[in-house]
Amino acid sequence: MTKILGIDDAGRGPVIGPMTLAGVIIDENENEELKSYGVKDSKLLTPKNRKLIKEKINSRFKSHIEISSPKEIDESTNLNYLEAIKSAMIINKLTKEETDKVKVIIDCPSTNLKAWREDVWKLLEKKEIINLTVEHKADLNHPTVSAASILAKEKREDEIEKLKMDLDIDFGSGYPADPKTKEFIKNNFENKSYKSIIRYSWNTVKRLQKAKKQKKLF
């Protein structure tokens, strides 16, 4: 029986915290069951519903999550390529024991679908069983990708809450437009205690670094 593996990310845009990427694999005839859970793009769900659906997914289906730390993101030459690497890692993990055909559907982060698909394809270990499709807005059109979107978002939220507890500070959502996040970055971008949670390659931080450098010069 053909399997379907959906993959989606969460946390590409934040200046604080990790990016998460999740994959969910099901039998082709289990699509309707996933739909019955109410799966959809995680951004369209309330936190309460997202958590309830996550628990249902985890109790029934095999999944895998890859986390990219701020340091890993800063050191990558290209965020899209880092996501291609992580997508391939998820596919390789979830298809390792598979012998049947697997239809893989990924919500593509790149505007160039063909080139990004090639980046993922060349990293796959079991090409002979994989049918790889990359799409824009796949999380809206495919239940498995919607499920992956939910798991990725929930994992990102869990990681953010853990950071806040460990550091005993509230830095907001971690997104650059969040006033609380902006204030935290402004006051702490040079604080070594928070070095591991900040993405220094983001313009939010670069602008502050540039402004401080210019202030010193004048």
Report the alpha-carbon angle 59-62-68, nearest 5: 110
* Mean of pLDDT values over 24-48: 93
> Is residue 139 located within the same domain as residue 182?
no
> Is residue 127 located within the same domain as residue 179?
no
Per-residue pLDDT band for 210 (boundaries 50, 70, 90) equals confident
Q: Which percentage of the chain shows pLDDT scores above 90? A: 92
Minimal CA–CA distance to 63: which of 22, 4, 21, 99? 22
Q: State whether residue 190 is helix, strand or coil.
A: coil
- CATH assignment at residue 121: 3.30.420.10
Minimal CA–CA distance to 49: which of 59, 60, 40? 40
C-alpha span between 217 and 212 (Å, rounded) = 9
C-alpha span between 204 and 72 (Å, rounded) = 18
> Is residue 99 located within the same domain as residue 180?
no
* Measured CA distances, 208 to 119, 149, 181, 183, 198 (Å): 34, 32, 14, 12, 13
Its domain, for residue 144, covers 3-164
Res 177: pLDDT = 95
Q: Is there a contact between 7 and 91 (Cβ–Cβ < 8 Å)? A: yes
> Is residue 41 located within the same domain as residue 61?
yes
C-alpha span between 8 and 90 (Å, rounded) = 11
**Across all residues in the chain, what is the average pLDDT?**
95
> Is residue 106 located within the same domain as residue 154?
yes
End-to-end Cα spacing for the chain: 69
Q: Is there a contact between 26 and 144 (Cβ–Cβ < 8 Å)? A: yes
pLDDT at 217 > cutoff 70: no
Per-residue pLDDT band for 41 (boundaries 50, 70, 90) equals confident
Per-residue pLDDT band for 191 (boundaries 50, 70, 90) equals very high
> Is residue 63 located within the same domain as residue 98?
yes
The torsion of the CA quartet 142, 148, 150, 155, rounded to 10 degrees, works out to -170
Identify the bridge partners of residue 133 per DSSP, sorted by sequence position. 105
User: How many structural domains compose the chain?
Assistant: 2
> Is residue 20 located within the same domain as residue 112?
yes
C-alpha span between 16 and 19 (Å, rounded) = 9
- CATH assignment at residue 187: 1.10.10
pLDDT at 218 > cutoff 60: no
Higher pLDDT, 42 or 26: 26
Identify the bridge partners of residue 198 per DSSP, sorted by sequence position. 16
DSSP assignment string, 63-112:
EEEEEE-HHHHHHSS-HHHHHHHHHHHHHHHHTTT--S-EEEEEE--SS-
pLDDT in tens, 80-133: 999 999 999 999 999 999 999 999 999 999 999 999 999 999 999 999 999 999
> Is residue 157 located within the same domain as residue 96?
yes
pLDDT at 7 > cutoff 70: yes
